[in-house]
């Protein structure tokens, strides 16, 4: 276990330096010394974090991250703070976070208890639900309607995981197709390879809104699970976590959030000038009133039956 | 490095209901092996036929063989798989397209065919090269003995050409195992895809890919050792290529 030794040495060195300089430790110290903060951004998580037609990154999560940046800059008393944007994918966000390449991940990452063993999350900034998108012609309203059909979800997502478990638990006989990414999964429904696509409702809405025939698709009323999204940061860095928590809580409780939310979810957004038309859910309104970084779905809503079954199995 | 190492993750239950994470990696390995093995059979058969035709006396047949090679060799494998899986069913008549889309195991079948055709083009080039590497006199000797052209190929040229190209075919075997990972883009849950989903579910990215790397390495080493044994076993004493694996002929 050489690695452990190295880690121990690094930790010890960090402690020594930490006690020698000011009170800042970890990420805050790094930001103060270098004058740089690096944000991990996504290419295609519309409207959270994406590349627009001018080849610049923008989105709801990036706006929220910039609030954190401003607040951290104030706290450290820096006259200028250089913000670097570093593109990440779902596969690279963890290694880049662990090795210090990025300080915050501003995307659409689900906060759950398992992931909290590896990283920390800022207070929840969006609450989505796992739902079913299908063509209206297919008349799919509930999970039971999917019996014996082909259903796609994106590989490596919590949604696919849940669908797999429900399929096994309730003997639905669904053929589950894993797709490489959201766009490809949607393509499978569009071309008829799958009857339905199970994913976070907000992502489904955005894919449908940007498709060739938005009115062909519908999203189920029935929710399979509740998923809180949060901005991700390194674990075991209490000082930085506190700074991030304070910044996000301020945005939520001061009403600032309403302006930012409306900008991305209620008004037309680039590149196509299409509006998401997604009013704030009651679940998220509750978080705005009382910010939380809990990874337990029960902290956000009455947990759907489908999710309860899955959570019970794990305990 | 602020990373929470957890090597016990392999024995924790994977969320896809198929046992532990280790089990899902093994199931990925089986898909990888099945894809690579079936694709290799296609590649070897088609590659040998096309490669032989390219060296034959018929100009037009050779040109068609060349066109085949250029087509499958010059389009990236990733693009080929995408075209086969997503585009081809749309170009077919609707009924056939729908039948193709509703096939069970469509990603697997598509991956095998696509990988087989892609590699067959590479094998074809090697077979032609092997035949062309033989002295011209071999072909003439076959004619002088009264063998017909197919017989000359069957009894003189091909047995020697294949012995010459065993080392480069070994390379192709190692390559086809690694190339099978491209199939994750069309939803086949092979080894790389299993490692990817393991890191997404558990966020233990380094453990997942370390395991996948070691598994790929073990499989490649076994394949290469087997190929070297095959070469030894088939070697003709005194023939030009005997023992080329030892003399840096790989």
At residue A4, the pLDDT reads 56
pLDDT tier at B250 (50, 70, 90 boundaries)? very low
Contact flag B204-A157 (C-beta cutoff 8 Å):
no
pTM, two decimal places: 0.82
At residue B17, the pLDDT reads 63
Residue with the larger pLDDT of the pair A188 and B101: A188
- A151 pairs with which residues across the strands? A176, A196
For residues B236 and B163, is the Cβ–Cβ distance under 8 A?
yes
Say yes or no to pLDDT of B162 above 70: yes
Average pLDDT over chain B, rounded to an integer: 90
Distance CA A288, CA A210 (A): 28
The Cα of A254 is separated from the nearest Cα of chain B by a number of Å equal to 33
**pLDDT per position as a tens digit, A241-252:** 999 999 999 999
Mean pLDDT along residues B111-123: 97
**pLDDT per position as a tens digit, A26-45:** 999 999 999 999 999 998 88
Say yes or no to pLDDT of A315 above 70: no
Q: Spell out which residues of chain A touch residue B105, defining contact as CB-CB under 8 Å.
A: none
Instruction: Name residue, tokens 């012609």.
Output: A137
At residue A11, the pLDDT reads 53
Q: For residue A266, which of A253, A283, A250, A281 has the smallest C-alpha distance?
A: A281
Percentage of residues in chain B with pLDDT exceeding 70?
Answer: 94
At residue A21, the pLDDT reads 42
Mean pLDDT along residues B50-64: 95
Query: Strand, helix or coil at B247?
Result: coil
Distance CA A291, CA A296 (A): 14
Mean pLDDT along residues B45-65: 96
Q: For residue A270, which of A63, A52, A43 has the smallest C-alpha distance?
A: A52
Q: Spell out which residues of chain A touch residue B199, defining contact as CB-CB under 8 Å.
A: 91, 94, 156
Mean pLDDT along residues B90-105: 86
At residue A248, the pLDDT reads 97
Mean pLDDT along residues B94-104: 84
**pLDDT per position as a tens digit, A87-129:** 998 888 989 999 999 999 999 999 988 889 899 999 999 999 9
Mean pLDDT along residues A295-311: 81
Alpha helix (H) ranges present in A23-157? 26-34, 60-76, 93-98
Contact flag B184-A155 (C-beta cutoff 8 Å):
yes
Say yes or no to pLDDT of B248 above 50: no
- On the 0-12 / 13-18 / 19+ scale of CB atoms within 10 A, A267 is exposed
Contact flag A114-B186 (C-beta cutoff 8 Å):
no
At residue A25, the pLDDT reads 83
Q: Spell out which residues of chain B touch residue A164, defining contact as CB-CB under 8 Å.
A: 15-17
Mean pLDDT along residues B190-211: 90
The alpha carbon dihedral of B231, B236, B240, B243 has a sign of positive
At residue A19, the pLDDT reads 43
Q: Measured between CB atoms, which of B4, B201, B204 is closest to A156? A: B201
**pLDDT per position as a tens digit, A135-152:** 999 999 999 999 999 999
Q: Angle of helix B158-179 relative to helix B21-55, nearest 10 degrees?
A: 150
Q: Sheet holding A49-51: strands in order across?
A: A44-45, A49-51, A57-58
Query: Strand, helix or coil at A274?
Result: strand
At residue A314, the pLDDT reads 58
pLDDT tier at A9 (50, 70, 90 boundaries)? low
**Left if phi > 0, otherwise alpha if psi is -120 to 50, otherwise beta: which for A138?**
alpha
Q: For residue A225, which of A148, A141, A309 has the smallest C-alpha distance?
A: A309
Q: Measured between CB atoms, which of B3, B186, B200 is closest to A90? A: B200
Task: Give, for A311, the enclosing helix (H) or strand (E).
Answer: helix A305-314
pLDDT tier at B128 (50, 70, 90 boundaries)? very high
Task: Give, for B122, the enclosing helix (H) or strand (E).
Answer: helix B106-132
Residue with the larger pLDDT of the pair B2 and A235: A235
Distance CA A235, CA A98 (A): 9
Distance CA B123, CA B49 (A): 10
- A104 pairs with which residues across the strands? A39, A233
At residue B249, the pLDDT reads 43
Percentage of residues in chain B with pLDDT exceeding 90?
Answer: 70
Q: Measured between CB atoms, which of A91, A191, A234 is closest to B90? A: A191
Whether residue A118 lies within 8 A of chain B, CB to CB, comes out as yes
pLDDT tier at A17 (50, 70, 90 boundaries)? very low
Distance CA B214, CA A201 (A): 38
Mean pLDDT along residues B64-79: 96
Give the pair of three-digit tokens for residue A111.
Answer: 């906060």
Q: Measured between CB atoms, which of B101, B186, B196 is closest to A192? A: B101
Residue with the larger pLDDT of the pair A14 and B213: B213
């Amino acid at each position: 276990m050489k690695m452990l030794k190295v880690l121990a040495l690094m930790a010890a060195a960090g402690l020594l330096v930490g006690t020698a300089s000011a009170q800042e430790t970890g990420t805050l110290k790094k930001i103060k010394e270098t004058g740089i903060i690096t944000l991990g951004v996504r290419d295609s998580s519309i409207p959270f974090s994406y590349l627009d037609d001018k080849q610049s990154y923008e989105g709801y999560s990036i706006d929220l991250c910039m609030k954190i940046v401003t607040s951290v800059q104030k706290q450290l008393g820096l006259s200028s703070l250089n913000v670097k944007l570093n593109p990440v994918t779902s596969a690279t966000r963890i290694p880049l976070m662990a090795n210090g390449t990025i300080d915050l991940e501003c995307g659409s990452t689900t906060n759950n208890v398992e992931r909290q063993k590896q990283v920390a999350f800022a207070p929840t900034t969006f609450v989505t639900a796992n739902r079913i998108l299908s063509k209206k012609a297919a008349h799919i309203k509930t999970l039971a309607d999917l019996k014996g059909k082909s259903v796609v979800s994106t590989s490596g997502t919590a949604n696919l995981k849940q669908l797999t478990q429900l399929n096994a638990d309730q003997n639905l006989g669904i053929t589950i197709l894993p797709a490489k990414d959201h766009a490809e999964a949607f393509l499978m429904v569009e071309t008829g390879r799958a009857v339905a696509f199970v994913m976070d409702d907000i992502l489904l809405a955005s894919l449908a809104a940007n498709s060739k025939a938005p009115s062909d698709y519908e999203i189920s009323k029935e929710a399979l699970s509740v998923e809180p999204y949060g901005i991700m940061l390194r674990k075991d860095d209490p000082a930085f976590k506190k700074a991030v928590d304070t910044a996000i809580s301020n945005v939520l409780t001061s009403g600032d959030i309403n302006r930012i939310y409306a900008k991305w979810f209620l008004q037309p957004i680039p590149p196509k000038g299409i509006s998401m038309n997604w009013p704030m859910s009651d679940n998220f309104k509750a978080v705005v009133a009382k910010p939380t970084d809990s990874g337990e779905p029960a902290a956000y809503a009455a947990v759907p039956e489908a999710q309860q079954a899955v959570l019970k199995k794990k305990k | 490095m602020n990373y929470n190492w957890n090597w016990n993750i392999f024995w924790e239950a994977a969320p896809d209901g198929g046992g532990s994470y280790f089990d899902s990696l093994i199931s990925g390995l089986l898909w990888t092996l099945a894809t690579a093995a079936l694709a290799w059979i296609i590649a070897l058969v088609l590659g040998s036929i096309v490669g032989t035709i390219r060296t034959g006396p018929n100009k037009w047949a050779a040109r068609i063989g060349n066109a085949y090679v250029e087509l499958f060799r010059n389009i990236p494998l990733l693009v080929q798989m995408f075209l086969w899986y997503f585009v081809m069913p749309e170009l077919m008549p609707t009924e056939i397209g729908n039948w193709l889309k509703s096939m069970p195991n469509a990603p697997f079948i598509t991956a095998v065919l696509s990988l087989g055709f892609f590699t067959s083009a590479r094998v074809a080039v090697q077979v032609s090269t092997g035949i062309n590497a033989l002295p011209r006199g071999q072909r003439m000797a076959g004619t002088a003995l009264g063998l017909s052209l197919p017989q000359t190929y069957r009894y003189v040229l091909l047995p020697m050409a294949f012995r010459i190209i065993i080392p480069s075919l070994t390379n192709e075997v190692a390559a086809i195992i690694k190339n099978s990972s491209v199939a994750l883009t069309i939803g086949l849950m092979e080894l790389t895809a299993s490692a990817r989903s393991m890191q997404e579910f558990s966020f233990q990215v380094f453990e997942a890919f370390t395991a996948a790397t070691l598994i790929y390495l073990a499989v490649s080493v076994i394949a290469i050792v087997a190929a070297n044994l095959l070469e030894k076993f088939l070697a003709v004493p005194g023939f030009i290529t005997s023992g080329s694996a030892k003399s840096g002929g790989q």
